Structure 1
Amino acid sequence: MALSAKQKKEIMDLLILSLDDKACRAELESLRNFLEESDEARDYYIQAVSVVENIRKMEWKPEKPQELPKCDDTLSHEVWQALAEQEKIAPTVEIPSETPDPHLIENVVYPPAEKKSLSKLSIATLAFSVAALLFFAILVRLPVNRQLEVATLKDSINARWGASETIPQKGDRLMTGSRHSLLGDGFVSLQFDSNAAVTIEGPAEFEIISDDRIKLHYGQLYSIVPQEAIGFSVATPNSMIIDLGTQFGVGVDFRGNTALHVNKGKTMLISGENQSKKSQEVPAGLARKVSTGSMEVSEIPCESTSFVRQIDSTTNMIWRGESEIDLTDMFCGGNGLGTSTTDKSINPVTGELVDFIHEDRKGSGEYILIPERRYVDGVFVPDGNQGSVVVSSEDHVFTECPPTNNIYYFDIHKGLEVDRLSFEGVQPDMRPSDNSPQSIMLHANLGITFDLRAIRNDYPLLNIDGFKTWTGISENADRQGNADVWVLVDGEIRYSKKQINEKGRPYQVQVELKPSDRFLTLIATDGGDKDLPVVEQRATDSDWCLFVEPKLITSVDD
C-alpha cells in the first residue's frame, strides 16, 4: 500500500530528528516500526537518506565576513559629538504637501482576460521547482556540516597511524568533518556519544560522520550497539548497515566488497546506488556480501571469531568472541587468550616465579598471594593435619582437606610436553582439541586459586558459566602413584576424585559456576599412603597430577 502524505512527513520528521540527535527512544522505536512493517516505508527512507547523503557531501564554505572600513582618524570623537549637538539646535525642515486633484475618473474599460496555455517547458520547470523546494526543505533542517566532537578514543593496542596523521591518544576526543583516518596496523576502540562502541582492526581507513554513523572505506570493524543507540549505522563504499539493536562485524576489502556478519540482534542492509538501492534485514547468525560493480548481495557463512570485539591495553587483551578462557595461559601470565610468553613455575612457599626445580620440600602452612599474576589469587601446600586449610585471599577454607605428608616435589608449573594423559579410549569429539594440549601440573601436595572476579572485570561482556578440564596422573610418571584431586569454589568441594592410581587415565571434570562465585581452586593431595623418608617411598611419589586444558566456559547475553 502506498504511503500517505502524512506518513511520508512523519518518516521525514523522524529521520531529521535522528540525524540531529534529537530523537527520543520512543521516536526511534517509531521509525524502526515503520521500516520493519512496510516495504514502501523502507524505499521512501532510502530515498530520503540518499538526499541527505548528497547534501552532506556538499562542501560548505561559509564566506568570511567582510571587514568594515576603518573610520578616518580625522573624524575624532569630538567631531562626532559636535555634530550631535548641532543636530539638537538645527531648525526643523518643513516638507511641502501636495493637494490631490478631485477630478473623477469615469468610463474605465477593462480588456477581456487572455487565456494562456502552459507549455511543456513550464510544466518541467514547475516540477523542478517542487523538487528544489523539497531539497531545500531538507537542507534548512539539517545542521551545517562542521567539525563536532562526537566520540572518544577509548583504548588502543599497537596502533600505527598514517604518516600524516596526528596521533590520537587514549581519552582524546574525535571529530566529524575531518579527513579520513588511516590505521596502518593495530587495534583501536571508539566510544561514540550515542553510546555505541566500535572496535577497528588495522589496516583500515575510516571516517567519523556523526555520533551515530561511521564510514569504513576498507578494513574491519565490530560494532556493539545498546538499546539507547539503536539506529547507529556503518557506511561502506557500496552499502549502508543500519543497526536495529545489535552486535555486528563489517569488513571491506581493497576492491570495495562489503561483508556483514551479524552475531546478535538484527540489522538492515541497504545496497546499491540511487534508484537501484535495495534493503533487507539480516538477523543474528547470518552474513551477507555486497559485491562491487554488480551490487549483488550473496549469502556467506557467519563468522563468530573473525572480528575483534573488545581490547584492553592494560592486559593486552584482544577478544574475538572466543567462548573459552584458558587457565594455563593465565597461570603463565597471559590473559587467557594465548598471550603468555613465559613458562616460569610458582613456588608454593615463597610465591616467587622460578625455573623448574624437582626436589622434596616442606610446606609452610600459609596461603601465599601472587601479585605478579593478575588472575592467580594465591598458592599453598595442602595439609589437613592442622585442621582447615586457607584457600583464598578472603580466608575461604577447605575444611575437608585430608592429612598429607606436607611435602611437595615440583613447584607448580605448566605441564611439560611429556606430561600427558592418554585419550585413546575417549570419543573423538570429546577429546582435547589440540594434539599437544596445555596443562597445569600439580604434583601432590599443591594447590592454586584463580580469582574469578578479576577475570570478570577484564571481560565485562562475558558470563562465566562453568569450568572444565581433564585430570589424572601423567602416563610418564616414574612409578604408579596414588593421589586425590579436588576442585573447590569459595572453599566448597565441587568435584573430587580419590585414589587415582592408574597412570595416563583421564577423568573428565565439569563444574557449574554462578555469577556470585569468586574463587576457583585446584588441588592435588597424596592418597594417604605410608610415608617413608626415601624418594621412592614417599606418599607423594609419582603423584604427577595434571589438569589438562583447564578452561572457563563463557557466554554472552542475548
Structure 2
Amino acid sequence: MSKKPNVSEQTRDLIDQAINRTISDEDFDRLQDAIENSEEALDEYVFAFQVDGILREKALELDSKTIPPIAERVAAQPSHLRWILAFAATLLIGLGFGFSMTRWAPPRDNDAFATQRNANAPRANALDVDVDVKTNQSPPNGSMYVARLVRMTSGVRWGSNSAKPDFLLRTRQGDRIEIEEGMVELEYFTGASIILHSPCRFVTTGGQSGRLESGRVTGKVDGGNFRILTPSANVLDMGTEFGVSLNETSDTDIHVFDGEVRVQSNFDLDASVSPVSLTNGMSARVNRRGQIDRKHEIDQHQFSRDLPQQTTAIANELSLVDLFSADSRGKFALTGVIAPNTGASDRGPWLNLDGPGHRLSNGFCSTEQNPYLDGVFIPSSYGLNVQIDSSGTCVNLPPTTGRTWGPVWSRRRSDESQWAGSVEDYWGTMTLEHVMQRLNQCVTGMIGIHANVGLTFDLDEVRRRGQTPSEFSATTSNLDNSKERITSDSEWRASRRFSADVRVFIDGQLRASQLDFTREDGELPISVTISDQDRFLTVVSTDAGEFDGFDHVVLIDPVLKLKSNDE
C-alpha cells in the first residue's frame, strides 16, 4: 500500500498513537473526525490496524512477551515509511509461519467510536477480508443437533432412560426422550413439530425422522417427507398434521387431521398388503403382524394438537428472552439459539472440551424465522460502518478481534437442574456452573452475547401484536471463567484484563452503555426509554481491549416495559 497523498502527517501520527495505545481521549475524538471525513484516512486507518494485528498475533503465537524483531524494526522507522515496511514484514512473516487475519484492538476509556454513520458512507475495501467461508462451514451431519425441546406442560416427569439434552435443550440423532408425566413439544430444525404425550418413549433417529417406542405423538409438518417408525408401521408424512399411537401389543394407530399420510407395514407380507394413503379425517391401524385395517375406529381426541403458549409474563412487561426464542408463528420457546454469522438456527455442537468455536464477521444477517428479531451480526474487526439493522443503519464501534465464540442464545428460567447438560458441553468451557446458578435466580431468564456480537429487535412487530413498549431494561454481567480455566501459563492469564463493553442503540443512536467491565464488577443495570417512533432496538457486546477470550457477556432479565391501556 502506497502512502495516501491526502492524508496529513497529523492524522498519521494519531493513527500511530492509537496503535501504540498512547492516544488521549481528545486525540481519539480528533482521529475519529479525520476518518469520518476522509475515505483515504479511513483506508489508511484500516490497513494500519490490520498490519499491527497480524504482527501482534504472531507475537502471541510465538509465546513472546515482545513484538518480533522484524516488527520492532518496522516500528522504529519514520512514520511515512512505516506502513510500506510493515506490509513487507507481513509478507515475510506470512511466508515463514502462516497466520490468520485476526486483529488487535486498542484499549480505550471513552466511547468515541459508538457513533452513527449513514449506510451510504464510504466503506474500505478491506471489509471483505473478515468473511472466512471455511469457518462458516457446518460440522458433519453426524455431530449436529437435529431437534430441540421448545415447550412443555408444567410438572413433566422424565424417565430414567431419557437422554439429557444440552444447555439449550437440543437433541442429537439417536437421543431417546422418555417422559412419565406431562407433555413435551419437540421441534426439528427441518421444520417438523412433534408433541409427545406421556407415558412416551421417542427417539430422534435423524433430521427428518423419529422412532416411537411407546405412547403417542402428534405431528405437524409443513414441508412433508417426515417419517415416524414404530415396531409395526412406517408412517411417511406428506405435509400434514397427524397423530400416531402405539399400544402395549405393538399395534399402531394413525389418524390424519389435515393433509396426507402414507402408511406402510414394517413386515414382509404377500403382495396383497400394499401401502395405504390416508387423507383428512381418515384413520387406520397396523397390527403387530403388519396387517393394515383402514376401517378401525380411532378416538382422535386422545391427541393434543397444540400446547398452550408459555411466557415469562409479568404485568406490563414483555421478556426479550421470549422474543428471541420465537418461531415463525410468533410462539415462544424455552430456549433460542442463532448462529451470528448466518442468522439461522444454530445446530452446531459445542465441541465438548474445545467449546463451540469461533464465528467470524459476515455482515448483518437477517433472522427470517423469527418475526420479532430483525437480525444478528458480528462487528468487523476495525468497527467502522457496521450495519446493525435491515434498514441499512450503520454505526462505528471500537476495533475488536472481528469474531465471537459460539452462538447467540436465550434460555428461560427453570428449576429443572437436569437440563443443565455437562460442564464441558457448553458455550464456553467451565462456564456452565456460573450460568446455571445465575439463571436459577432470574425472574425471566438470560440471553448470552459473548463478545463480539450484536442483535436487533423489531419494535414495530411488538406493536403490530397489540403491545406498546415504553422502556428497555436489563442487567448485564461478564461471567468470565478465566480463573476456573486450567492453564499452564498463569503469567499470561495474570497479565490480561478480561473485560467487555455493552452498548444499546435505538435506530442507530447510542442510548446507553456499560464499558470495560469484568467479572469483579458484578451486575450492571442498563435502561433506555423508547418512544412510539422508535423502530429498532440493538444490543452489542464487544471486547474492551486486546483480547476477546472469556468475555461471556449475558443480559439478565431483559424486558420491554409496556404502556398500560389507559396511557
TM class by smaller structure: 0.3 to 0.5
Higher relative contact order (CA 8 A, sep 6+): 2
Give the TM-score normalised by the residue count of structure 1. 0.36
